[in-house]
Structure 1
Amino acid sequence: MADFEFKAERRDRVGKGAARAVRREGRVPAVVYGDKKDPVSISIPFKETQIQIQKGGFLSHIISIDVDGEKMRVIPRDYQLDVVRDFPIHVDFLRVSSTTKITVGISVEFINEEACPGLKRGGALNIVRREVEVECPATSIPESIVVDLKDADIGDSIHISAVTLPKGVTPTITDRDFTIATIAAPAGFNEPAEGEEGGEGDAE
């Protein structure tokens, strides 16, 4: 299912002059391509486009576009912002179907921080990757990659192999078991030596 729908208008004219005219009308020039079909030049509402971009995750959510009653399922693949005023000036959309596979960055979510042994002992969560690039079906993009910290202790490294990914989702990095996060020791922390026990009465 699409997360959002844009009411779009078909653009008969293209080029810089035509694009400027579209923006003066309060709309954003865009193009829809892919799925072995001809590209379609459209315009979409400026305010709605800006809101969707500012919400975050714009490039990883399916969107429905209604062009004169014809609906297309697409995913944003790129957008351009005005370098001075930081508002959208162009968007590229890719048509998607049940067989479309895409490469997309998925944010990492950490859970059970309150139960993490390493954090309870004063350690710090050192996030190496806040986002992981994956290949997945365009219609089954995960909202996040979930990392469970309930068993992570000081000195542990959490690698991608420890994460359960949804079916059909694979990291684009395949040549190594890369690190997502570590539990760093606090300053001055020393682990007891193996076999060493504390307490009075140990010394003779």
Structure 2
Amino acid sequence: MSSDKIQAEVRTEFGKGAARRIRRENKIPAVVYGHGNEPVHLTLPGHDTMMAIKHGGANAVLELEFDGTSQLALTKQVQVDPVRRVLEHVDFVAVTRGEKVTVDVPVHIVGDAVNGTLVVTENTTVQVEAEATHIPEQFEVSIEGAEAGTQILAGQIELPAGISLLTDAETLVVNVTEQSAEEPAAETSAEAAEAGDSE
């Protein structure tokens, strides 16, 4: 995954009032932690940062440029305004090229199991160790034609070269079971009740 370059400014004002002022200017307060250094408080451009994080997924790596230096930073926590859906604050962890990092990568189910089955995702992410600049956005797991009783474990997920699984290989990720016969029956009784109401 390539990193997006973001022009940042070092932030000297702190507190809620300062954060509100930053957001009014369509910018985002952020903090970069890690590598034994003091946390660096930054102000990031709102739109560019939002697009970069959206593009990079849950583990976006951004190249933050400030004070004549460049710092690779892995997104760790993103606060989003629940109403306006804009970024309110971002926490990053400083990383270096080639450095191995521990991340949770989402599991994406593709395909359809056979009729009459119920597909349950027991774990939506798996934990892996990957190079900071080569973190996958997601792992695809195919359930095409899977029959009841099919179980896909973490150890069965195909990982790209250079990525190590940290989640226990025996962890159940996807479970395909028989659909309960009660569910359609419940719908039928509801439909019958509606029919009775309309008479």
Shared fold (TM-score greater than 0.5)? yes
Larger Rg: 1
Q: 2:175 — aligned with what? A: 182
TM-superposition CA deviations, 1:147-201 (whole Å, max 9, x none): 2435743212111122232333223x43x7111112222456xxxxxxxxxxxxx
Q: 1:194 — aligned with what? A: none
Aligned-CA RMSD value: 2.8
Matched, 1:97 2:65: no
TM-score by structure 1 length?
0.72
User: Is the contact between residue 107 and residue 130 of structure 1 (CA under 8 Å) also seen in structure 2?
Assistant: yes
Q: 1:19 — aligned with what? A: 19
Q: Percent identity?
A: 31
User: Is the contact between residue 59 and residue 78 of structure 1 (CA under 8 Å) also seen in structure 2?
Assistant: no
Matched, 1:88 2:87: yes
Task: Give the letter for the 1:32 counterpart.
Answer: V
Q: 1:61 — aligned with what? A: 60
User: 3-state DSSP class of the match of 1:38?
Assistant: coil
Structure 1, unmatched stretches of 5+, are 189-204
Partner Cα distance (1:8, 1:98) in 2: 20
Q: 1:163 — aligned with what? A: 157
User: Is the contact between residue 62 and residue 73 of structure 2 (CA under 8 Å) also seen in structure 1?
Assistant: yes
Partner Cα distance (2:96, 2:129) in 1: 15
User: Is the contact between residue 31 and residue 40 of structure 1 (CA under 8 Å) also seen in structure 2?
Assistant: yes
- The 5 A counterparts of 1:100-111 are 100-111=99-110
Paired residue total = 180
Cα distance change, pair 22–169 in 1 and its aligned pair in 2 (3 A): same
User: Is the contact between residue 134 and residue 169 of structure 1 (CA under 8 Å) also seen in structure 2?
Assistant: yes
Shift of 1:68: 4.0
Partner Cα distance (1:74, 1:149) in 2: 35
TM-score by structure 2 length?
0.74
Matched, 1:153 2:147: yes
Cα distance change, pair 124–77 in 1 and its aligned pair in 2 (3 A): same
Cα distance change, pair 57–125 in 1 and its aligned pair in 2 (3 A): farther
TM-superposition CA deviations, 1:25-72 (whole Å, max 9, x none): 22111122212333222101122333445x375431211112144221
Task: Give the letter for the 2:122 counterpart.
Answer: V
Partner Cα distance (1:35, 1:42) in 2: 17
User: Is the contact between residue 101 and residue 131 of structure 2 (CA under 8 Å) also seen in structure 1?
Assistant: yes
Partner Cα distance (1:19, 1:39) in 2: 17
Of residues 128, 134, 151 in structure 2, which corresponds to 1:134? 128
Partner Cα distance (1:30, 1:121) in 2: 48
Task: Give the letter for the 2:2 counterpart.
Answer: A
Q: 1:193 — aligned with what? A: none
User: 3-state DSSP class of the match of 1:20?
Assistant: helix
Structure 2, unmatched stretches of 5+, are 182-199
User: Is the contact between residue 119 and residue 176 of structure 2 (CA under 8 Å) also seen in structure 1?
Assistant: yes
